Structure 1
């Protein structure tokens, strides 16, 4: 990307280039993201850098408005979602409330729910339910365990919620699913 294209991105406050490059203003000694909402500087006073470390090495300090020295919110939220997914995958069989998940992830329950749903289109509860159903399907296909054993083994608290969730996700009862897909009993 040449300097003319970078300058065009700065003038447009284009978020697409955040993290791709940074610009510094000689007269202020500050460096920014391309999307910084501050008043555009004069072109003759601008230098471009590939990362914040380069700008800081040239004695520029980060803008307090766009915080180019910190990760973008989207990156932080994506990491929060990945950490949550990993935690849920490792603990799907346990009874988990949004509060317990949030404590482990170290964010508020409200923030966790909002960010998780924005990135996955599902609540943490719905995501855990999907994990439990996938595991139940695996057991139904590959073992001869009873439906009741599978229900509790994958983390459901009672048979009624297991049967309702299973039917909602597969349009079949566990018994119907096993009859159609079981490889052990064939």
Structure 2
């Protein structure tokens, strides 16, 4: 990749090139990702580096806005897969977007947007769906009470569980269990 091409990416703040190269500004001793929204520097004051470590070794400090030192941006599919794994393992625990974003190493806004693009649901909608799917299995296959199932899948009250279940499936958990038992007779 030649410097003219990299410079064009910097001028456009093009995130497609994040992680492929970094640029440093000689007058400020700061280096950034190509997508950084900081004011575009004069071309004559810019150096390019393939790795953030190279820029640091040359005495440049990471930008506080785009944080090029934290990590190279992972593939969006990896971020979403990591978030889904966490949700599928921990759906019965309180999971906040804040906690989830820290676990996968992304801002909560980036995670929310990317997750919705790839999965078609927000992380919170996905958590709710996991809880409801598991509760449906437990209603069908276990003798646990409705309250026990609500707690087991991560709801903190049976009334909230009942409301969510009814909204999603069109009947109460009790009615669903009765229907399942009738079908098994």
TM-score range, shorter chain: 0.5 to 0.7
1:167 aligns with 2:170: no
Question: Is the 8 Å Cα contact of residues 91 and 154 (structure 2) preserved in structure 1?
Answer: no
Q: Distance in 2 between matches of 1:117 and 1:42?
A: 35
Matches within 5 A, 1:1-186: 1-25=1-25, 30-36=30-36, 37-43=38-44, 46-57=46-57, 59-64=58-63, 66=65, 67-71=67-71, 86=86, 89-90=89-90, 92=92, 96=94, 122=122, 128-141=127-140, 143-145=141-143, 148=146, 149-175=148-174, 177-178=176-177, 185=184
Measured after TM superposition, the shift of residue 10 of structure 1 is 1.7
Question: Is the 8 Å Cα contact of residues 144 and 185 (structure 1) preserved in structure 2?
Answer: no
Q: Distance in 2 between matches of 1:147 and 1:127?
A: 24
Q: Distance in 2 between matches of 1:10 and 1:144?
A: 58
Measured after TM superposition, the shift of residue 161 of structure 1 is 3.3
- CA change 1:53–1:129 in 2 (3 A) is same
Which one has the largest radius of gyration? 1
Q: Distance in 2 between matches of 1:12 and 1:18?
A: 12
Q: Distance in 2 between matches of 1:42 and 1:140?
A: 65
Q: Distance in 2 between matches of 1:4 and 1:12?
A: 13
Long gaps (5+) in structure 1? none
Q: Distance in 2 between matches of 1:157 and 1:91?
A: 13
TM-score (norm. length: structure 1)? 0.58
List per-residue Cα deviations over 1:97-146 (Å, max 9, x = no partner). Answer: 97xx97x77x8xxxx9878766656585x6654332121112234x1425
Measured after TM superposition, the shift of residue 29 of structure 1 is 5.2
TM-score (norm. length: structure 2)? 0.58
Q: Distance in 2 between matches of 1:21 and 1:137?
A: 49
Report SS of the residue matched to 1:138: helix
Q: Distance in 2 between matches of 1:7 and 1:39?
A: 10
